[in-house]
Amino acid sequence: MELLKTWLGHPKELYKLTKFKMGGYKAVMPKVDEESLSASLRACYKHLNQTGRSVAAVVRALDGELRDAMCIFYLVLRAVDTVEDDMTINLETKIPMLQNFHSYLYQPDWKFMESKEQHRQVLEDFPTISLEFQNLAKVYQDVIVDMCRNVGLGMAEFLEKKEDSKKNWNMYCQYVARPIGIGLSRLFSASELEEPIAGRDMEFAISVAFFLQKTNIIRDYLEDQVEGREFWSSEVWSKYVNKLSDLAKPENIDKAVQCMNELITNTLHHVPDVLIFLSQLKNQSVFNFCAIPQVMAIATLAACYNNKQVFRGTVKIRKGQAVTLMMDATNIDAVKAIMYQYVEEIYQKIPSTDPSSSRTQQIIASIRSMSVPSSALSRIHYSPIYLSCVMLLAALSWQYLSTVSKATEEFVHTGEN
């Protein structure tokens, strides 16, 4: 599941594909023209809707050939992720499967019927996915098989060296987030919706993926503890407690918050690269696909920063707040304004006694210098009535946003299984 959290942030919290109403405007989920699709491609979009509800909304809004390529890319990664997540598969079986998973894309009859995971359908119906993979243009096939190989090998290596890898979450993100960042950029470039540089300059794309991955790892501390998963960097938490699970103990709440604040400070260092990456995008549907998760992530970090609730329950972004972010994040100036707003919110909450306070202030100063608003966009605090009007106008003005808003009722709890 951690692999797919990198895709668009935590799926549960992004877009629930139901109807949404606000300000008198009613929107419905974006539709792919089912009549024009082959039976196998219709099945793939059905799997996409059922296993990646958040992703389905934005994938369906992509332009041209990129839509189908992204659908298949997601399903292939979902299948790999399902193998990795399934604790009923022993390592002697799992590791070779992960290492060889890319080869199954060229084996028409390969499927796996023994998984107990929630999304096992992508393994049981893998012949349909591999068929549509082979129907893609070769330029897309090359990217998908390459990324599948890298992800599978990375997962297998992480399972074999898990304890060493956990010491540094940058190392963990290298296994999990890096291939997705690279793969998405190469698909954007292959589609020719973006300039070739999008597929060559990987540094910023990788940082974008790291930003989402680290945000989700921070936010999901308690959920991961309950399910027996540990992703927080031991290089950080070992400064505060003897075991990661000790952060959830009431007597350690102050140390827990300080530990989290340090991790958030580390994650904020990716924001400058995020802004550079987004500024290079030209196609509106690709920009929206990339920008929405980023603004959701910065809002999530602001909600988590110095917040004891992360260790007690769920930290949520309000529905109206999430919808407004999605509606507003349509150009780089708007995204910079949103980043500016939320780092200011974090700045106002920095405790003078926090061990990371000076470093947090330094990275916020750096982000401010890149995202100083060029208009009155930034520091506006909208009234609910004004928000409704803005969202109505945006929906009428932007075809993409009208389709994505249709997919929105419940944005953030900030993970989908």
Cβ neighbours of 64 (radius 10 Å): 12
Q: Which three-class secondary structure state does DSSP give residue 22?
A: strand
With a CB cutoff of 8 Å and minimum separation 6, the contacts of 187 are 66, 69, 70, 73, 140, 143
Alpha helices in 191-305 (DSSP H): 202-219, 221-226, 234-237, 253-268, 271-279, 284-304
Task: Give 21's strand partners.
Answer: 26
Find, among 268, 208, 257, 259, the residue nearest to 235 by Cα: 259
Output DSSP code: residue 148.
Answer: H
Catalytic residue among 211, 231, 240, 289: 289
From first CA to last CA, the distance across the chain in angstroms is 6
Task: Identify whether 289 is a catalytic site residue.
Answer: yes
Find, among 144, 160, 205, the residue nearest to 178 by Cα: 205
> By the 8 A CB rule, do 411 and 14 touch?
yes
The Cα–Cα gap between 402 and 78 comes to 27
Angle at 62 between CA 10 and CA 199, to 5 degrees: 85
Catalytic residue among 15, 172, 188, 211: 172
Q: Across the chain, how many H-helices and E-strands are there?
A: 22, 2
Task: Identify whether 186 is a catalytic site residue.
Answer: no
Task: Identify whether 386 is a catalytic site residue.
Answer: no
Catalytic residue among 15, 60, 219, 277: 219
Output DSSP code: residue 362.
Answer: H
Token couple for 412: 């953030």
With a CB cutoff of 8 Å and minimum separation 6, the contacts of 394 are 327, 328, 330, 401
- Sign of the Cα torsion 10, 12, 17, 21 reads negative
Catalytic residue among 200, 229, 312, 379: 229
Output DSSP code: residue 16.
Answer: -
Task: Identify whether 60 is a catalytic site residue.
Answer: no
* Catalytic residue IDs: 172, 219, 229, 289
